[in-house]
Amino acid sequence: MPELSDVEGFRRHFARYAKGHRIKGVDVPDPTLLRNARPRALRSAIVGKRFGEPDRHGKWLIAPAGRARVLLHFGMTGLLVWSGDARERHRYDRIVFELTGGQLRYRNMRRLGGVWLARSEKECQEVVGSLGPDALGLDADALAECIRGRRGGIKSALLDQRVIAGLGNLLSDEILWRARINPRKPASRIRSPALTRLHSEMEAVLQEANRHGRVPGKPGWLTGVRGEGDARCPRCRARLRRGTVAGRTSVWCPRCQRG
């Protein structure tokens, strides 16, 4: 599930429920998901501190606690759940932050992703420093700069977190479909008119998805039909195509996305 808009939803959830609360303890039912520290080290770094205003970069959620930061990545199946009381733990609750007023639970079925501890800005950069600029708010010139000199297709550039941070498989397909750009089109051959469309549709898709706090599957969107067997283009009704692009299952319209 988690792409930029999903993580933005988690960020708002965090800001609403966990921010400002004191950390009383951390329960770590699955220590392997705590990727760069032992539970004891995490506790000694953050217990007694209050969570501050959370930040997001790409698909990473960054939660300050005192001078340390907790970095969360959600893989394919992660999510953040607030529980006002200490009710029974869910099977996939991997790391549970016990706060004044409730529990914040990092839940993740497939155990891709995880939680990292950064005790300083430097340690934070060691984890998220290789990311490109966040896709949200990227201006047209910056986008052009990001994809300049790429040798492969545009979709592979959009998915590469070192190029642009935050877009996943669904958002990338959605943006390319709306901009009428074929996912296999070489990134280096995208110029003025298509580049302008790419930028404005990226902005529009991200704004709308962020309002929902997730990637919406709604009418008029590719996401609304991409799960169907013989889906048709919501715009022109042509039969959608499905294939592997940049190593991922991609859906596009052979009529709308010729160029």
User: Which are the catalytic amino acids?
Assistant: 2-3, 59, 248
Q: Does 142 bind DNA (CB under 7 A)?
A: no
9 binds DNA (CB under 7 A): no
Tokens, residue 19 = 């921010």
Q: In angstroms, rounded to a whole number, what is the distance separating the alpha carbons of residues 135 and 143?
A: 9
Instruction: Kindly state whether residue 174 participates in binding DNA, applying the rule CB under 7 A.
Output: no
Which C-beta is closer to DNA: that of 122 or that of 151?
151
Dist CA 35 CA 197 (whole Å): 39
C-alpha separations of 247 from 44, 73, 153, 226, 241 in Å: 41, 21, 11, 17, 16
Torsions phi, psi for 245 (to 5 deg) = -130, 130
Is residue 152 part of the contact set for DNA (CB under 7 A)?
Answer: yes
- Which amino acid type is present at position 105? R
Q: Which is nearer to DNA, 134 or 203 (CB)?
A: 134
> Are the C-beta atoms of residues 59 and 161 closer than 8 Å to each other?
yes
Token pair in block for residue 66? 């005192």
Host H or E run for residue 115: strand 114-118
Smallest separation, CB 89 to DNA (Å): 14
The correct pick among 18, 46, 143, 215 for binding DNA (CB under 7 A) is 215
Q: Considering CB under 7 A, how many residues would be counted as binding DNA?
A: 36
Q: How far is the CB of 112 from DNA (least distance, A)?
A: 4
Q: How far is the CB of 17 from DNA (least distance, A)?
A: 22
Residues binding DNA (CB under 7 A) = 1-3, 6, 58-59, 73, 75-77, 91, 109-113, 149-153, 156-157, 159-161, 168-170, 187, 215, 244, 246-249
